[in-house]
Amino acid sequence: MTLDQITIQNLQVYAHHGVFPEENTLGQKFLVTAKLGLDTRKAGLSDDLTRSVHYGEVSAEITSFLQQHTYQLIEAAAEQLAEHLLLTYELLETVTLEIQKPWAPVGLPLDTVSVCITRGWHTAYLALGSNLGDKQAYLDGAVAFLGERPDVRIERVSSYLETEPYGVTDQDTFLNGCMRIQTLLAPYELLDVLHQAEQKAGRRRLRHWGPRTLDLDILFYDDLVLSEDDLVIPHPEIPKRTFVLEPMVQIAPYLVHPLRHRTIKELLEDLRRMDAR
């Protein structure tokens, strides 16, 4: 679905950002264009401002934020401002920001220097597993850890299923589940946060597919297809793992795998047919 857009064009803000000390001291003019991505249909049908984003308030918020903070780079100003807007306005799904610096001190004739970025909320699906100690406590702790972060919104968590170990079978049974989140984190940033949660749970990586207090994996991230040495999305083992597909069916049965072009429900049915042979 394509988002609707509210545009604030060339808002003038006098603020203190720049590499040179005099820029931070004396300040200068910046021009900010903000394209706010959201669904405006309910506001359009009801003529109710509370169902949209008030562009006057957003303009004041942009001005206040840029005047209350100082950054050396306009890249940093844009990044932090984008996150601030997305966290402040619940209806806002994406924001494209262009920050122009018309008085850039480069010693050459130019009209302006600018940085333009687009940021927004992303849908990710995560797998949770544990087969050491208080398994449920470790899974609940991971959900709570993620839920405490402002850049993560937990939308759904499956029930926990007790499953037989996969790969290395001479270990205790697992407790497994899946969750759907909205996040501002990029894939590698999300992976780092999941590793932090595992470390908090005392996980030690001593044996591949061995016992663990907590195991967290990124299953899907929007429709992203990524294949790197240390991160593959969608997770390559999804179609083979009943303990992933069963809890995923609870929370997203009709999610379509971007490579297999099959829904989660269909993938589970395929796997069960194979296992029955």
Contact 162, 145 (CB under 8 A): no
Closest CA to 126 of 148, 98, 157: 157
Count of CB atoms within 10 A of residue 189's CB?
12
Rounded-to-integer distance, Cα 256 and Cα 266, Å = 9
Burial of 166 (0-12, 13-18, 19+ CB in 10 A): middle
Closest CA to 18 of 97, 87, 65, 72: 72
Does residue 29 carry a catalytic annotation? no
Rounded-to-integer distance, Cα 262 and Cα 40, Å = 32
Rounded-to-integer distance, Cα 239 and Cα 209, Å = 17
Contact 100, 112 (CB under 8 A): yes
Closest CA to 116 of 75, 70, 65, 63: 75
What are the structure tokens assigned to 59, written together? 């303009």
Rounded-to-integer distance, Cα 76 and Cα 58, Å = 19
Burial of 14 (0-12, 13-18, 19+ CB in 10 A): exposed
Instruction: Please tell me which residue in 29, 101, 240, 265 is annotated as part of the active site.
Output: 101
- Active site residues per annotation: 101
